[in-house]
Structure 1
Amino acid sequence: MKTLKTLFLLLISTVAIGQTRDDLTAKHILDSSIIFSGGEERISKIESSSINYLLIQPDESTAIITEKRKIGQKYVQSILSMKHVPQTTFFDGTMVTRVDGSSITQIKDLDVMEEVKLRTYNQIQYGYKALNYELTRLPDKKFNNFDCYVVSAKADNGYTTMNFFDKTNFRLLMVVYPNGNKSLMIDYMFKDSILFNSHIVNTFADSDEKQVLRLQHADLNVDISDLWFNCPYKDKVYTPPHIKSGEFESTNGDKTVFTRTEKSQDYKDDQGKLIMRRFLKWTNNDTYGLIDEKAIKNNDSSPESLILVRIISWDDKEYVCHWIAGKYTDTQDYKIKE
């Protein structure tokens, strides 16, 4: 990582040739930050991403955040926890819908809409550029450990953020949102030579509490079904009968075939022979728990023995879901087996 960092520092040093730091424009600062983050050419080649974070809440409880993007077009975020009510935010390109437990909300607030549009980009700096935000350089700000350039970014609808860039390498260190909430980018890593923030601290304008995100993994240019971005509900959260029970087959990852009943999921091999049984209990209208028959027999009470599954979206022929088991998590696509 240090070698890459040195290379990018050399690259960005060419951006401001012939200019003093006081003469740098907001555009130069943003462009330099994009270069440090991997460069516009590399970043522009990302068409989709699937990213997981471990979320540590102020009370030290944890959740898993899964985000999927079709860059610049669509976005979905699923937050799943053994302790807290699950939440999913859908953006299908035109509408933002939030499913919070059994509550469904169509988001019409312009600031929230704009923030979700920005989330369709992995790097917010690149989002500003792609969405033609108006950039203004503000007075520099010096903190205990950092000396920063400050740039405001304003959308056509007036949504405005303040962005703090490290003067030593132009890395984006903090974003202040219109509501006063802040995201502090503590650490980072490179995936395919593109920067992703690996340790983020979120603070809130009306509270002293902090929320911590730690990157688990990032997959780029993956095939993501449009089903992920479409909220299946209009007025209530439910799982339809053809998804609640039946025979299903995975359409991504390792081939898995199972039959789901009211009380279990029975997994079969290619010859239709039962190889594993997991007992099932619905905990919400779209969420259920699974536990292996073996775990019960062996009196296994480890966090990994219990799997929590949330069905995110579905149609007549398939569904997609997000699951967690202790520190493990993944998403899965399934079709109804014919």
Structure 2
Amino acid sequence: MTHPVASAATATAGADDARAALHRLRAEVAKAVVGQDAVVTGLVIALLCRGHVLLEGVPGVAKTLLIRTVAAALDLDSKRVQFTPDLMPGDVTGSLIFDPHTAAFTFREGPVFTNLLLADEINRTPPKTQSALLEVMEERQVSVEGARRPLPDPFIVAATQNPIEYEGTYQLPEAQLDRFLLKLTVPLPTRDEELGVLRAHHAGFDPRNLAAAGVRPVATAADLAAAREAVGRVYVAEAVLGYIVDLCRATRATPALELGASPRGATALLNTAKAWAWLAGRDHVTPDDVKATARPTLRHRLRLRPEVELEGVGVDAVLDTVLATVPTPR
């Protein structure tokens, strides 16, 4: 019989090893992608929380390369789907194909059968196909003709949206946006970072050949499993739980918003704060951990009033006001 103290020590050592492996991820991704540490951290938090990510950034900021590099550094499978107006649900989830040799229908897996799926420009496909993907995200399985086919574990979707071009797009309704754990902004690089990109390409960097760039697996699915278990053990005081609830309730009461964070948003904020605290090496959540994850966790769950939006006020600015006015527990 294993002694409880020995089991706890083994679990702690495994969690520490997993944390160290995930910290190495940033350096590994930086071999191919320059200056996106915050987005990498967000993707790691999503993997730890089994959540999905909405990436927003202009074309050309290496969103596809980022996803491929993170998957390679975690030794995970990744696939990419370019969402277009003529994309059908079966193109994403898979479909039954008639085999003339056996005179039977066989299931051909769609691209969702992977660990890390890049759904590029998700708002360019009609709602029917969007809904098929979002159902898969929620249920983590594909159902065809009554047969359920579970997706691999881990499985997360990183969906992208172009923030400057809306012609020919189908806006995701709030109920669907609420299914994403995080909304991350992929910024343009600084001047020094952009110089680094040019130097790398001038030296022969090929974004299609990550192995040649030196990207190697630094963590595995087993590390992620140990990390998830450790995140689940992170302690949250009653005062911090109350702080999360008060923040979300404050978004529902602020006159700048016509839609505030739902209870699902509060649950998401709890989970992301726990993951953030664990990555920082703590076994408990502080109010600062909640503040650090509040913007990416809540920004896509809120809707500005039209008159406020016309004044040029952004959702993040409203969140900053909420964070500044809700009393912080000591």
Classify the TM-score, shorter chain.
under 0.3
Higher relative contact order (CA 8 A, sep 6+): 2
TM-score, length basis structure 1: 0.23
| Greater radius of gyration (CA) | 1
Structure showing the higher helix proportion among its residues: 2
Structure showing the higher strand proportion among its residues: 1
TM-score, length basis structure 2: 0.24
